[in-house]
Amino acid sequence: MASVFETVPGAPEDIIFALTAAYKADTDPKKVNLGVGAYRTEEGKPWVLPVVHKADHIMVDDENLDHEYLPILGLPDFRKASVKLILGANSKAIAEGRAGSAQCISGTGAVFTGAQFLSRHYPFKGAACYISKPTWANHRAIFEGVGIPVLEYPYWDPETKGLDLKGMLACMESAPSGSIFLLHPCAHNPTGVDPTPDQWKQIADVMEAKGHFTFFDTAYQGFASGSLDKDAYSVRYFVERGFEMFIAQSFSKNFGLYSERAGNLTIVARTPEIKNTIESQIAKAQRAVISNPPAYGSRVVSLVLNDDKLYGEWEENLSTMANRIISMRQALFEELTKLGTPGTWNHIVDQIGMFSFTGLKTPQVKVLKEKYHVYLTDNGRISMAGLNTKNVEYFARAVDDVVRNH
């Protein structure tokens, strides 16, 4: 008997996971993995943050913890602390009772939860979501998956290897009023290029004039600059300007809780009543998809965020990660400069966060993989966390070769 699924086409492999699999299968001792978006130590190993280790032990010894279901919208202390972390303790949105939240399945789940709500309740029917060109691949998949059309706004300028602010603002001005714009508050993925405070003001001016809806996706608060407050600047500025918005938060990177899927969707509404209405609709939708979120990761985050001593230790851990990545940017820049590699490479140190958009072309990336066993995405994005003092010179020489000869 033929299967009822006989005609279903196979889906392509996920690019990042396929890249990781190819790296693991490679037996060359010099191989380098610059594809995965996860922190690595100087030894190239995953790092369990010391403060997370400490939180683990506290939780294990807590006889009052159980494995009962969380509420549909998640762990209350986690949600409250997450909102405070991104908006700031003195946020007027919190003080006025119009900041809400929903615990989600990491940042991916938070983007999905917000997108699903907008697909059902956003009053501008048919409004498109504009994503940066380029952006994290899942952004398009998530919004298209809930039926929201996806368009792109200019972001990366290949000539300057920086922000195309003029193109970005022009797109915002020409987009139909009430469009949705997905913005990266810090450590833009994949370019590592962030607007300056003055540029954020210009972006906010156009967003306000056009009545666009702001959807921030923040996966790197504290991980980019090492400062939680500095990395939240754009979000807090938009709140001060009076915008309604969604903010997807992930704790995968800044807590190293990649597999625990701890995330939050922060909601800033016009009034407390509207905030309550949004939360009620998200709860209804979440009940039908995951019923309620998992407890472990949110308990770790909540424990740290709500304890002054642990919070201070977490800030130290964040500085360790951020500073190592910054030092690898400087080391790569110095190696390329020393080699006299053609082109300008200052963008390596000007960019911020886990990723750098090198400007390498797809054919050059192919040579890096096949000749040098260096794994990175075809668009030339590298994870700076994959570099260390033992492989940065090797990688620089490989780049120098493909730039000169390919």
The residues assigned a catalytic role are 136, 217, 253
Within 10 A of 233 (CB to CB), how many other CB atoms are there?
Answer: 19
Residue 248 φ then ψ, to 5°? -85, 125
Q: Report the C-alpha gap between 179 and 211 in whole angstroms.
A: 8
Half-sphere exposure of 186 toward its Cβ, with a 13 Å CA cutoff? 28
Q: Report the C-alpha gap between 340 and 363 in whole angstroms.
A: 21
Q: Among 111, 108, 88, which residue's Cα sits nearest to residue 99?
A: 88
Contact of 136 with 189, CB cutoff 8 Å: yes
Would you state the structure tokens that stand for residue 315, as one six-digit string? 């800030």
**293: CB partners within 8 A, 6+ apart:** 70, 74, 75, 103, 104, 105, 109, 286
How many residues does the structure list for the chain?
406
Pairing of strands 213-218, 245-250: parallel
For the chain, the first-to-last Cα distance in angstroms comes to 53
